[in-house]
Structure 1
Amino acid sequence: MRPAHLNPSSPFGRREPHTITIARGDNIRQFQLRPWSKASLLALGSALLFGYVASTGYLVLRDDLLAAKMARQARIEHAYEDRISSLRRQVDRITSRQMLDQNLVETQMAELMRRQDILATRSEQITPLLREFGVTTGAVPLPQARPDRKASGPSPVHSLLAATEREAPLSLADRADIAFVALQHSLEDMEIRQLQEIGEVVEKTENATAMLKTALDEIGLSHAGRKATTGMGGPFEPAGDEPTDAFGVVIERLDSALAHYSDARRAAVSVPLANPLPGRAISSNFGVRKDPLVGRRAMHSGLDFSAPRGAPILAAADGLVVKAGRHGGYGKMVEIRHADGFVTRYAHMNRINVTKGQSVERGAIVGKVGSTGRSTGPHLHYEVRRQGDALNPMRFLKAGETVKNLL
């Protein structure tokens, strides 16, 4: 290669083209490298070098940027995952709490329903007893249907919840606890009132039974109202089903009291305790008197009731009509056979309303007042007999007056 010579007249100096000779054996090749080509090659090389350096730097920086971006993305993802995990834990806690609250509410409601069923069962036990024995002593508290809130106003439970929430907001479990406690107290109060009312029923029934037995004792029926017993015995073996709760005990007492009351009442309505002409005056008593027709002393075996002709005559007790028609000096007469050998007679009747063989109940109309037979005017001759013997009807009327509200 031969160096180029500078041109002294050129402001930058004259540059001659460079000649490049390549010899290979006998082959010789020459190339001229002009200055602008050299500058172009130099610029191209510089550009290539710069591009390489820039590309290398870009690739290095890009990896760093991508790594940083990926790390930042990973941090964001981890943060989101942590947040999601935290939210999931909160949701799980809330769900668990709600499930616990729901289970608690369901348990409490089940307890309330159980108590309600107990009260309903008790009511089913009480009502037939009261209906069967005809005891009316007032209302016994029974489970009632839920009242209309619009008509009856807020319930005590809602009032208690409202008063408590004014101090601090309540959760579902707290509201359920308050409502459960309030309803529990309400049921307990109902049970207490129920036991008290049943106790009053028992007391009134026992008092009524005592009054009936006293009335029966006054007419000589001290055994009435008591069931006949036969020989019994054997070793005692507990059945294991005796009531242990207060309600079971009081129900047994009520059942026993009503059974005794029923026996005494049945005995009382089957013996002549009722007044055949209630509200009418007695014109002649039982015993020896001056006969109104002949004026001689004679035995008066009954009571005479003064009453106008046609007044209704009532049966003094349940029984069977054994005579209904004219009977000598009795005139038109009705005779009724009752329990324990008692017989009642209703004489001097104007009209007879029953027939022989007919069953009558206490208070049934058997005829009308008249003056048939040996009589001086309209009145009722009333007799009470037992085993053929005449008894003083006044004893029966006095005994019946004390228990007339029970019969």
Structure 2
Amino acid sequence: MKGTEGLLEVKKGFTIRLHALLERHFPERRLFLRSETDTRFIRLRPATQLVAFAGGAAIVAWAIIATAILLMDSIGSGNFREQAKRDQQTFQERLNAMADERDARAEEALAAQTRFNTALERISVMQTELLRSENRRRELETGIGVIQTTLRRTMKERTAAETEIARLQGEAGDGSGAVTAAARSQSAEATMGILTAALADTARERDKISTDAQDALLHADEMATQIALMEEQNDAIFRQLEEAMTVSVAPLHKMFRAAGMDTDNIINQVKRGYSGQGGPLTPISLSTMGEDLSPDAARANAILDQMDQLNLYRIAAAKAPFATPVKSAYRFTSPFGNRRDPKTGGRRMHSGIDMAGPVGTPLYSTADGKVVHAGWSSGYGRLVKIKHEFGIETRYAHMSRISVKVGQRVSRGDRIGDMGASGRVTGPHLHYEVRVGGKAVNPMTYIKAANNVF
């Protein structure tokens, strides 16, 4: 009992001292409420005043902290927007510069191809002239051989005639024999005159043919020199075209590889969809009479193959999501992968990326394809699904407005709707997904792969 009384005394003393301390800072006050017929008052004890003061201080502190948080978030959002604008402007400038360079390369390639075609035509004409000169030279050599054979035969006949005349002159012994010998001598002389004239004409023809053959050989040497110069010019043109093709094809090949796509499979799929033949990219085929193609023709075919590959890469690039669905200023708020759920606070898989911006921000298709879903979906809100080639599907969720319908064909850059806050969200943003074969992959893989190309 004594212990209990002592404890009560201590407690009572502590209460008295606490009350005195509160009285010092919060003296008891009375609040009078007067009416026409009565006057009442409310007693404000020190403890009551302390509770009111603490509550007011807590409210003021909460207001200050909330205001600071909102202000910091606003400043941070402004910085992000400015940074996004600067990045967007830099990206646009890079796109414009690369587009100008690509156009310049295309013009250079077109001009080089024109020069190459002109050079091929000139080489073809020169080869035709050279073949004609060679045939003429061979004909002249054959003619010279025939003339030489005729000349040798004629000289043998003349020698035989002279021998016959001498024999006849030796056998002549009487007057009648002399008359016959004289007649034969005159006939032999006439024959010799004819043979001499024929020999002179043959000699002149031989000299003329020899001169023509020498002129043909000189012309052939000049043609060979011109062909060598044309080959040097063609080699320079080929090198420029090969460098241009390498510069154009290599970044696209690297872009598909960076996105984890099999380039051989991609090219084969595009070829199956675009299997028409003919036109300006038909391989060069020159008549070689059963022989292999010349080195120039082989190089030309290789360049045309690269041009065809470049065109196939361009078609494939338009059918894969190598673009950003938001072209206006936005804030990247959530990456792909495991994250804390903003609603429940637990960990869960985030199968896309989030891009925050004002409600009504335009959204665009990132590749050519066909709309397979355009409407409400649980959790996603207003959702658009687009099916692309190569087993790829893109999804655009939480939209405020949808501008496409199921079955519609869209191209890269076509507007499909506006950003919003429909579905399971904490604020307006776009939830963007890329799925390959039904499995979600990181969309930034495609966006980053195209940074150095588009």
Higher helix proportion (structure 1 or 2): 2
| Structure of larger gyration radius | 1
